[in-house]
Amino acid sequence: MKFNEVLENVTTYEAGKPIELVVREYGVNPKDVIKLASNENPYGTSSKVTAKIQELAKNMFVYPDDSMYELKEALGKKFDVDSSNVIIGSGSDQIIEFCVHAKCEKDSKLLMAKTTFAMYEIYGKQTGAKIIKTESHTHDLAQFLALYKEHGADVIFLCLPNNPLGEAVDTKDVYEFLEQIDSETLVVVDGAYQEYAAYKDENKRIVPKDLITKFSNCIYLGTFSKAYALGGMRVGYGIAQPEIIKTLYKLRAPFNITTLTLAAAIEALKDEEFVTACIAKNFEEMTRYEEYAKSRGFEYIPSYTNFITIKMGDKFVSKEVAQKLLEVGIIVRDLTGYGQNAIRITIGTNEQNTKVFSVLDEVLEKLK
């Protein structure tokens, strides 16, 4: 059977390994598995959200409000924009897909960092677009600009802060870069981890209203999967000028998020105290990883997210380290596929992290 030929060059996205796989393949007790590979919030969901879902579970047979009025109004209030500036997606990656398909076709050009969220490239290749990447693994805006001047781009992806490495660019530098981009180029500013970056360093904060007011060709993406602890509910959003939003709506299927997802996101926005507490604990625990890396002679990338990338250097192979951890029930992300001899570890709870340090020491000792 013949399929669209552009799909021959598309790789399948590999998600973090689920707990069920570790239990099934390695016989680890489910209670002993620590999943630190998908950057989920380790503190669970807000109790207020859980209560609301339990209350509304009886309404699962009813389609959601497809206008998503209440959620868009709540996001509009939070970010001081009009609801016409907002689109809701099944995770922010669905809106990434909308953006690519709205702008790209065969031989269009997408510009991104060498190491960044894999779905940018996957969605681009689905359209037959050409992928242009910087030499630098991280966001080197000088390289972005040089490539843009040389090749042009229909879409530029800026992951701020960047997944899977964790670095972030100062907002003033981002704006200086955007001032040199043509208004016909769509710039996607992916702020999936912005809550963390803004908490750690105000210089990294991207304010959606400022962004889209200064640069009408930009769209800001946010998600409820990380700081808001709704990864399993799959809900994200985009904020842009109405012209962009109206175009993206042409690609949106009806009822693209669920009745319970909609309710969860609305309720989550009401509990900012929970979110702030989770972020504060995240950075308290991150210092332990930084100290661990230093004490063991490993380099790490200073992170503005809820994960940390630790480089294995020339003494260890990250794929082997990740595999040995997996076999004893600790799931981390090996970055070999991104050209990095490194592991990415989601920052867990205090108890989880203590166990990780202990087991990681044992694994490294065996691999010497």
What CATH number should be reported for the domain holding residue 92?
3.40.640.10
Which residues, 6 or more positions from 184, have their beta carbon under 8 angstroms from its beta carbon?
Answer: 217
Peptide bond before residue 161 is cis, with ω within 30 degrees of 0: yes
DSSP letter assigned to residue 345:
E
18 and 87 belong to one structural domain: no
**Which of 270, 291, 312 is the C-terminal boundary of a domain?**
270
254 and 168 belong to one structural domain: yes
Asked if pLDDT for residue 333 goes beyond 80, the answer is yes
126 and 168 belong to one structural domain: yes
126 and 158 belong to one structural domain: yes
Mean pLDDT (the chain, rounded): 94
Asked if pLDDT for residue 264 goes beyond 90, the answer is yes
Residues 71-87 have a mean pLDDT of 97
- Please give the pLDDT value at position 16: 67
pTM above threshold 0.85: yes
Name residue, tokens 């790490």.
300
% of residues, the chain, pLDDT over 70:
99
Asked if pLDDT for residue 7 goes beyond 90, the answer is no
- Please give the pLDDT value at position 53: 92
60 and 36 belong to one structural domain: no
- Please give the pLDDT value at position 305: 98
62 and 34 belong to one structural domain: no
56 and 21 belong to one structural domain: no
319 and 355 belong to one structural domain: yes
Peptide bond before residue 164 is cis, with ω within 30 degrees of 0: yes
Q: What is the pLDDT of residues 87-109, one digit of tens each?
A: 999 999 999 999 999 999 999 99
- Please give the pLDDT value at position 312: 95
Residues 225-250 have a mean pLDDT of 96
- Please give the pLDDT value at position 276: 97
78 and 88 belong to one structural domain: yes
**Residue span of the structural domain in which 159 resides:** 47-270
Asked if 209 and 80 count as a contact pair (C-beta separation under 8 A), the reply is yes
**Which of 205, 239, 270 is the C-terminal boundary of a domain?**
270
Query: What are the E-state strand segments in the chain?
Result: 34-35, 86-89, 109-112, 130-133, 155-159, 186-190, 218-223, 236-239, 300-301, 307-311, 330-331, 333-334, 342-346
Please name which of 90, 96, 94 lies closest in space to residue 264, comparing C-alpha atoms: 90
85 and 234 belong to one structural domain: yes
CA distance 288 to 291: 5
114 and 204 belong to one structural domain: yes
**Which of 252, 270, 288 is the C-terminal boundary of a domain?**
270
**Residue 256 pLDDT grade (very low, low, confident, very high; cuts 50, 70, 90):** very high
Residues 201-210 have a mean pLDDT of 98
Residues 277-301 have a mean pLDDT of 97
- Please give the pLDDT value at position 46: 94
% of residues, the chain, pLDDT over 90:
87
Q: What is the pLDDT of residues 139-160, one digit of tens each?
A: 999 999 999 999 999 999 999 9
Asked if pLDDT for residue 290 goes beyond 80, the answer is yes
Q: How many domains does the chain have?
A: 2
- Please give the pLDDT value at position 308: 98
Residues 287-313 have a mean pLDDT of 97
CA distance 359 to 361: 5
